[in-house]
Homo-oligomer: A and B are copies of this chain.
C-alpha cells in the first residue's frame, strides 16, 4: 500500500520498483505473443508509457540484462522477471468469504493462467457451507488450518465484510498465511513478514476525483 512506499526491502529494492515489475512482465508477455524477440528499453518505455531510463534503472537492481545498444532478449527477460517475482511456480490460494464478491473472485478466469490456483473456499455462514462454487466445496472456518496445511496454501483472498476482516486475517496469519489480498474496505493490521495488498475500488475512485476536480478548475 502507498503508506509503505518509502520502505526498502532487505535486498535494497525499493517497493515502488517491485510494484512495477508485474507491469514489465505483462508487457514482455504481450511482446512475446506478438513474436518480438528483442526489445529496446525505448520500445518497452513506449509500451509502458514510462522512460527508457526508468526501465534500465529498475532492472539494474537485479543484475545485468541485455547488451548495451542491442536491447533485451524478450524470452530471457520473461524468464528472469518470473524468477524475480517468484512466478516460476504455482501458488495455491484460498478464498475466505463466498458472497457475491467471493464467488466472482473464484470464477475469475484470470488467476489460473498466471499461476494462482484457487484450491479452497471458506465461509463462516452455515448457509454457505457445503455449497459448490465452481469445483470447490465451501468449507466451514473450523477446517481452515488443516486444509491450508494439506493443500500447501500460503496466500489468502479475503472477501468478507469490513467488520469481520481483521478477525479473519488474524486467524489466517495464525494458520501460517503470509500473503493476503484484501477486498474488505478496511485497514488491516498484520505482523512483520506478512504482506497485505488491498483491492479497494473506492480508494481508487477517491484518488481519481482529486485529478478530475483539478481539471474542472
- The interface of chain A, by Cβ under 8 A from chain B, is 1-6, 9-11, 16, 18-23, 25-27, 47-50, 54, 84-87, 91, 93, 100-101, 104-105, 107-108, 110-111, 114, 116, 154-155, 157, 178-179, 181, 185, 187, 189, 193, 195, 197, 199, 201-215
- Give the residues in chain B near A10, CB-CB below 8 Å: 214
Q: Is the CB of B2 within 8 A of A179?
A: no
Contact of A2 among B19, B25, B116, B203 (CB under 8 A): B19
Q: Is the CB of A86 within 8 A of B18?
A: no
A110–chain B nearest beta-carbon distance, Å: 5
Q: Is the CB of B1 within 8 A of A105?
A: no
Q: Is the CB of A23 within 8 A of B48?
A: no
Known interface pairs A23-B3, A213-B86; A208-B195 also in contact (CB < 8 Å): yes
- Give the residues in chain B near A211, CB-CB below 8 Å: 9, 18, 179, 195
- Give the residues in chain B near A101, CB-CB below 8 Å: 104, 108
CB nearest to A206 among chain B residues: B22
CB nearest to A100 among chain B residues: B104
- Give the residues in chain B near A50, CB-CB below 8 Å: 3-4
Q: Is the CB of B27 within 8 A of A212?
A: no
- Give the residues in chain B near A203, CB-CB below 8 Å: 22-23, 26
